[in-house]
Amino acid sequence: MMISPQTREALVFTFAFALAFLNGVPTLAVSAKSQVIVRELRSENIAHNRAGTDPVRKLLLYLPAGYDESSSQRYPVIYFLPNPFEDSYRFDFDHRDAQGLFDRAIAEGVIKRFILVAVDMNTPLGTSWYVNSSATGNWEDFMTQELVPYIDANFKTIPNRDSRGIAGIFIGGYGAIRFGMRYPDVFGSVYAMHPVGTGTGVRVSAAIPKWDILINAKSMDDVKKDGGTQIFTTMFQAHLPDPDKPPLFIDLLARQEGDQLIIDAKLMERFRNNFYLETMIPQYADNLKSLRGFKFDWTRNDANFDHVYANQAFTRKLNEFGIIHEAEEYNGAFGADWGVDGRFYTDALPFFQIHMVFAENNEHSQR
């Protein structure tokens, strides 16, 4: 059968068009953009605090590419507690391209598609330490009773603890472990990056704040004169709150008499039992054992050796109670968490890929 030149030309054109179309399909899929959106949520659990904390909390969500393409696709969620010493809760997105890093991780198969939520959980003086406090607000209740239900109700999540992880850096790492300890029914997997507050260090903690500043403070701004005093004030507001003692709304566990520091033994016991994670292990050992995954890391190069010492002791105590976990001391720079060589990309995301449950039967959740 003879084919005319005109017919042959038409067939070639049709084949070329079909090939271009087929080749273009994955390109269209890849070109879909991830999204970073900001929302506000008013918290009744924080509204009645004494320290002047704003009950309207801002939160950021990372939504993966393809999020809007299917009404039936649902995603696991990583709740992220950033280092509260950064400028804002969204610092890693504004200055370290966290969105681009997550996009790359998904594209390269480091992790399947996921949602990430970062929320501002700071008080007027700094970190809330993520606990319920009559001074600064009920942060645990805000997270577990308001934020998580809000995210599940308004976004396409897989609403169960097996598909819900929590990660944090520095004090955020402390919060991640604490939430995992107390709420394993909410968060099934925990990764803490260089956590603090895991236990006692080498120094006596009560010797760090300047007690004359605390005793003589006329406003909360007065404690900002000294960094150690400010951070300890946030710790006391979290764990030794007293709503009837303005302007700091705390009980003071020590006082200075000449060159001698007099420590109130009962208040120190109360503070230690409520603050240090190591003291909470016996009470929450079974909760920790129920987690799908639990890991924390720290650099041996931290200039504050108390953090290194405390994390080494913390992993040993976890072992004493038979709590399966991963603990890694690495030889690297403090704060080197971002970028393709940073530990969020190389360690945290692969950890959640292993331990969170993804919607395996849906094509959008495949690598």
User: Does 246 lie in the same domain as 191?
Assistant: no
If pLDDT is split at 50, 70 and 90, which confidence band does 16 have?
very low
Task: Summarize the confidence of residues 4-8 as an average pLDDT.
Answer: 50
Structure tokens at 239: 């764990």
Task: Summarize the confidence of residues 309-332 as an average pLDDT.
Answer: 97
**Is residue 23 a part of any domain in this protein?**
no
Q: Which domain-ending residue is among 231, 249, 268?
A: 268
**Is residue 6 a part of any domain in this protein?**
no
Q: d(Cα 128, Cα 291) in Å, to the nearest integer?
A: 24
User: Does 105 lie in the same domain as 44?
Assistant: yes
The CA radius of gyration of the chain, in Å to the nearest whole number, is: 25
With 80 as the cut, is the pLDDT of residue 356 above it?
Answer: yes
What contacts 98, CB < 8 A, 6 or more positions away?
62, 92, 338, 344
For residues 199 and 276, is the Cβ–Cβ distance under 8 A?
yes
**Is residue 20 a part of any domain in this protein?**
no
3-state SS, residue 309: helix
Q: Which domain-ending residue is among 268, 286, 309?
A: 268
For residues 136 and 49, is the Cβ–Cβ distance under 8 A?
yes
If pLDDT is split at 50, 70 and 90, which confidence band does 19 have?
very low
Q: Please state the separation of Cα 169 from the chain's center in Å.
A: 6
Q: C-alpha distances in angstroms, 201 versus 13, 180, 276, 277, 307? A: 74, 22, 11, 12, 7
Q: Across the chain, what does the average pLDDT equal? A: 89
User: Does 252 lie in the same domain as 309?
Assistant: no
Largest separation between any pair of C-alpha atoms in the chain = 111
Q: Which domain-ending residue is among 244, 268, 292?
A: 268
**Is residue 12 a part of any domain in this protein?**
no
With 80 as the cut, is the pLDDT of residue 8 above it?
Answer: no
For residues 349 and 193, is the Cβ–Cβ distance under 8 A?
no
pLDDT at residue number 15: 43
Terminal Cα-to-Cα distance of the chain (whole angstroms) = 47
User: Does 232 lie in the same domain as 131?
Assistant: no
For residues 209 and 228, is the Cβ–Cβ distance under 8 A?
yes
If pLDDT is split at 50, 70 and 90, which confidence band does 4 have?
low
User: Does 211 lie in the same domain as 244?
Assistant: yes
With 60 as the cut, is the pLDDT of residue 9 above it?
Answer: no
**Is residue 312 a part of any domain in this protein?**
yes
Structure tokens at 304: 């504050």
User: Does 163 lie in the same domain as 92?
Assistant: yes
User: Does 163 lie in the same domain as 107?
Assistant: yes
CATH of the domain at 323: 3.40.50.1820
If pLDDT is split at 50, 70 and 90, which confidence band does 80 have?
very high
Residue 77 burial class via C-beta count within 10 angstroms: exposed 0-12, middle 13-18, buried 19 and up: buried
pLDDT at residue number 235: 96
For residues 290 and 171, is the Cβ–Cβ distance under 8 A?
no
**Is residue 183 a part of any domain in this protein?**
yes
Task: Summarize the confidence of residues 109-117 as an average pLDDT.
Answer: 98
User: Does 346 lie in the same domain as 262?
Assistant: no
Q: Which domain holds residue 229?
A: 205-268
**Could you give the number of structural domains in the chain?**
2
8-12, 111-115, 224-228, 290-294: which has the minimum mean pLDDT? 8-12
What's the pLDDT tens digit per position in 175-234?
A: 999 999 999 999 999 999 999 999 987 777 888 899 999 999 999 999 999 999 999 999
User: Does 352 lie in the same domain as 286?
Assistant: yes
User: Does 316 lie in the same domain as 248?
Assistant: no
**Is residue 230 a part of any domain in this protein?**
yes
User: Does 308 lie in the same domain as 189?
Assistant: yes
Q: d(Cα 208, Cα 206) in Å, to the nearest integer?
A: 6
| Residue carrying structure tokens 């925990």 | 190
User: Does 317 lie in the same domain as 240?
Assistant: no
What contacts 213, CB < 8 A, 6 or more positions away?
222, 223, 225, 226, 229
**Is residue 10 a part of any domain in this protein?**
no
With 90 as the cut, is the pLDDT of residue 32 above it?
Answer: no
